[in-house]
Amino acid sequence: MVDVSAKAVTAREATAECLVRFPPAVAKQLRADALRSAKGAVLDTAIIAGTMAVKRTHELIPFCHPLPIDGCRIGGDWHDKNTLRIECTVRTTHRTGVEMEALTGATVAALTIYDMCKALSHDIEITGIRLLEKTGGKRAYKRARV
């Protein structure tokens, strides 16, 4: 693990996204059913799973520091006709950032959506996992929009 004891404690925030692409018939059915599947409320369950993953990132990714999570916001909306976009923003006040927590939260939320919808199709794709922005610490980062 990297020694962060000499770093300043600062407010830090990171936002990540993940895309879940459905076959057209499945997307149409999910839209008609208000994002519900046989297992229940797809997005609500994904938000819970993603939040749980944010809090346990240090147990999943070797060498990640356990961090006090000050805030976590996960949401999802249709990116296009067949693609659901998941966004996860995580905040902490600490010596190291929360990029891995945001990426983990978005990814586990997407995996949960897959699990809740796999009875409809296994042709669901999880893609576009990426950091969008981070603030605090030495370097801020903001992905250029293309």
Active site residues: 115
DSSP 138: S
CB 58 within 8 A of CB 65: yes
Helix locations, 4-141, DSSP H: 24-32, 42-55, 57-60, 99-117
Angle at which helices 42-55 and 99-117 cross, to 10°: 150
> What's the rounded Cα separation, in Å, for the pair 56 and 64?
10
Classify residue 94 as exposed, middle or buried by CB count within 10 Å of its CB (0-12, 13-18, 19+).
buried
Report residue 131 CA to chain centroid gap. Answer: 10
